[in-house]
């Protein structure tokens, strides 16, 4: 088994995507996988040569790698050391359930590398104003920013489930521990912002890729059978696949229902893989009302939800229910109902929630780019005197959404308050 010993960030190198690839991402264009690989390789070589030239002749000579290892260049991590058969570091004896987290930004607590050279849509979570409520359990502004790699002003869904299990927050990230062969009693978070079931242009790990990483750690003995037997799994797939193909505009696809069926089938396949490892407490998000996210409500000046987007969510959820509802070891988390009862209470019927009253801004994001094509956290390109190209609210606890897609900590608190009782009953049925 090959093992990546050193991350790009640890090597002090940039994790920035090449300009050409970044442009493709921003434009939403499809990149042929072969071309993507070639571009990544060229960009990586250029960055490596530039780093060596900037360091000077005396520093260009690398120290020899550890025994049984060799150097290679990874596009996203930079210069890394690959070791054969690393010695795993399994956790000590278990005292509480472990948690394993797969999915996207709803559950990512820092798995995407920090890009120190180029602030972008997939690195903004490491910069101001993300983390604006760090350490504030009520979700209010902390007075300073402390970005942790989460796509919110602080806590995200996986953190709240971690707290249900007795943790302070979600378990450590794969990029900070598992990639180095270190495992923790708390479990591990594999989720990465922007992920989906199908590949994305810049190579964010898909749901299947994340499961591959999990399986490698199981095979090495880093993740133990005892952990698996006493584990809780969260799968959070939140519609990135649909966002990339414009499912809110059905004319953009030949047959929306077929595509949705393909997405939900991949989620069900992930559940099947985990079941084969003995996982018997699997939480799977259904799809929130994507038509009510600021990315869609901006078209009505944040006044109304987009009907087509919500119809797509309902179709997704019906398919997922058909595939998973009969599995006794799976609980479908009704994010659709929990979200809609807050952000669109007047149309939610019996799903309307009194928790809606605390949010004065239900469809308007707390943080938004000043330009329609901009994003929360965007800065001008002036390196000496950068200017903020976004606006952030002073009271994030009054907003349900943090940015164009992700809830605030207060938003997640309201959602998980509605779901916590059912989650506890599912995990500990004898105590209910």
The 10s digit of each residue's pLDDT in 422-431 is 999 999 998 8
Residue 396 reports pLDDT greater than 80: yes
Mean per-residue pLDDT over the chain, rounded: 82
Confidence of residue 251 (pLDDT cuts 50, 70, 90): low
β pairing state of 390-392 and 367-369: antiparallel
Higher pLDDT, 114 or 109: 109
**Exposed e or buried b per residue across 32-71, where buried means at least 16 C-beta atoms within 10 angstroms of its C-beta:** eeeebeebbeebbeebeeebeeeeeeeeeeeeeeeeebee
As given in the structure block, the two tokens for residue 230 are: 């006493």
- Give the pLDDT mean for 121-149: 90
Confidence of residue 432 (pLDDT cuts 50, 70, 90): low
**Among the listed residues 177, 182, 313, 342, the one whose alpha carbon sits nearest the alpha carbon of residue 247:** 313
Would you give the distance in Å from CA 395 to the centre of its chain?
A: 24
Q: Write down the residue that tokens 């938004």 correspond to.
A: 368
Domains, the chain, ordered by start = 2-84 (no CATH), 98-431 (3.40.50.1110)
Q: Measure the CA–CA gap between 231 and 249, rounded to whole angstroms.
A: 39
**HEC letters along the chain:** CEEECCCCCCCCCCCCCCHHHHHHHHHCCCCCHHHHHHHHHHHHHHHHHHHHHHHCHHHCCCCCCCCCEEEEEECCCEEEEEEECCCCECCCCCCCCEEEEEECCCCCECCCCCCCCCCCCCCHHHCCCCCCCCCCCCCCCCCCCCCCCECCCCCCHHHHHHHHCCCCCCCCECCCCHHHCECECCEEECCCCCCCCCCCCCCCCCHHHHHHHHHHHHHHCCCCHHHHHCEEEEEECCCHHHHHHCCCCHHHCCCHHHHHHHHHHHHHHHHHHHHHCCCCCEEEECCCCHHHCHHHHHHHCCCCCCHHHHHHHHHHHHHHHHHHCCCCCEEEECHHHHHHHHHCHHHCHHHCCHHHHHCCECCCCCEEECCCCCCCCCECCCCCCCCECEEECCCHHHECECCCCCECHHHHHHHHHHHHHHHHHHHCHHHC
β pairing state of 187-189 and 98-103: parallel
pTM above 0.85, yes or no: no
CB atoms within 10 A of CB 350: 6
Would you give the distance in Å from CA 90 to the centre of its chain?
A: 25
Q: What are phi and psi of 240, to 5 degrees?
A: -60, -35
Confidence of residue 388 (pLDDT cuts 50, 70, 90): very high
Report the percentage of the chain scoring pLDDT > 70.
75
- Give the pLDDT mean for 367-378: 95
Q: Given this model, what pLDDT does residue 38 score?
A: 44
Q: What is the pLDDT of residues 293-332, one digit of tens each?
A: 999 999 999 999 999 999 999 999 999 999 999 999 999 9
Say if residues 165 and 209 touch (Cβ distance below 8 Å): no
Residue 111 reports pLDDT greater than 50: yes
* Lowest mean pLDDT across 99-113, 191-205, 217-231, 360-374: 191-205
Higher pLDDT, 59 or 202: 202
As given in the structure block, the two tokens for residue 97 are: 């359930």
CA distances from 273 to 9, 128, 276, 324, 379 (A): 31, 38, 5, 13, 42
Q: Measure the CA–CA gap between 110 and 119, rounded to whole angstroms.
A: 15
Q: What is the pLDDT of residues 32-44, one digit of tens each?
A: 444 444 444 434 4
Residue 90 reports pLDDT greater than 50: yes
Q: Measure the CA–CA gap between 295 and 239, rounded to whole angstroms.
A: 12
**Among the listed residues 104, 93, 308, the one whose alpha carbon sits nearest the alpha carbon of residue 195:** 104
Say if residues 359 and 400 touch (Cβ distance below 8 Å): yes
């Amino acid at each position: 088994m090959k093992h990546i010993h050193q991350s790009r960030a640890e090597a002090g190198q940039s994790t920035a995507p090449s300009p050409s690839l970044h442009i493709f991402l921003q434009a939403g264009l499809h990149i042929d996988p072969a071309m993507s690989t070639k571009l990544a390789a060229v960009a990586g070589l250029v960055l490596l040569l530039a780093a060596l030239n900037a360091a000077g002749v005396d520093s260009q000579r690398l120290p020899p790698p550890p025994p049984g290892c060799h150097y290679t260049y990874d596009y996203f991590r930079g210069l890394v050391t690959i070791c054969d058969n690393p010695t795993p570091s399994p956790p000590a004896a278990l005292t509480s359930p472990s948690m394993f987290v797969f999915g996207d930004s709803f559950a990512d607590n820092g798995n995407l590398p920090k890009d120190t050279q180029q602030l972008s849509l997939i690195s903004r979570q490491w910069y101001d104003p993300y983390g604006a409520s760090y350490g504030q359990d009520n979700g209010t502004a902390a007075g300073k920013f402390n970005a942790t790699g989460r796509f919110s002003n602080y806590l995200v869904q996986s953190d709240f489930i971690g707290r249900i299990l007795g943790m302070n927050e979600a378990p450590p990230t794969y990029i900070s521990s598992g990639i180095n062969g270190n495992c923790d009693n708390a479990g591990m978070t594999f989720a990465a912002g922007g992920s989906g079931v199908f590949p994305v242009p810049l190579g964010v790990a898909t749901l299947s890729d994340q499961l591959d990483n999990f399986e490698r750690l199981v095979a090495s003995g880093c993740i133990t059978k005892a952990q698996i037997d006493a584990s809780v799994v969260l799968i959070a797939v939140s519609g990135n696949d649909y966002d990339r193909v414009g499912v809110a505009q059905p004319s953009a696809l030949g047959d929306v229902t077929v595509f949705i069926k393909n997405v939900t089938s991949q989620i069900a396949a992930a559940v099947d893989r985990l079941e084969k490892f003995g996982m018997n407490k699997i939480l799977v998000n259904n799809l929130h009302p994507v038509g009510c996210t600021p990315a869609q409500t901006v078209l009505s000046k944040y006044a109304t939800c987009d009907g087509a987007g919500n119809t797509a969510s309902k179709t997704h959820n019906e398919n997922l229910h058909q595939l998973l509802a009969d599995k006794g070891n799976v609980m479908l988390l009704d994010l659709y109902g929990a979200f809609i009862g807050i952000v669109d209470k007047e149309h939610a019927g019996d799903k309307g929630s009194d928790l809606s009253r605390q949010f004065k801004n239900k469809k308007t994001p707390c943080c938004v780019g000043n330009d329609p094509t901009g994003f929360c956290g965007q800065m001008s390109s002036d390196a000496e005197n950068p200017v903020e190209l976004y606006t952030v609210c002073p009271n994030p606890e009054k907003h349900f959404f943090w940015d164009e897609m992700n809830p605030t900590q207060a938003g997640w608190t309201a959602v998980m308050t509605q779901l916590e009782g059912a989650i506890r009953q599912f995990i500990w049925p004898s105590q209910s």
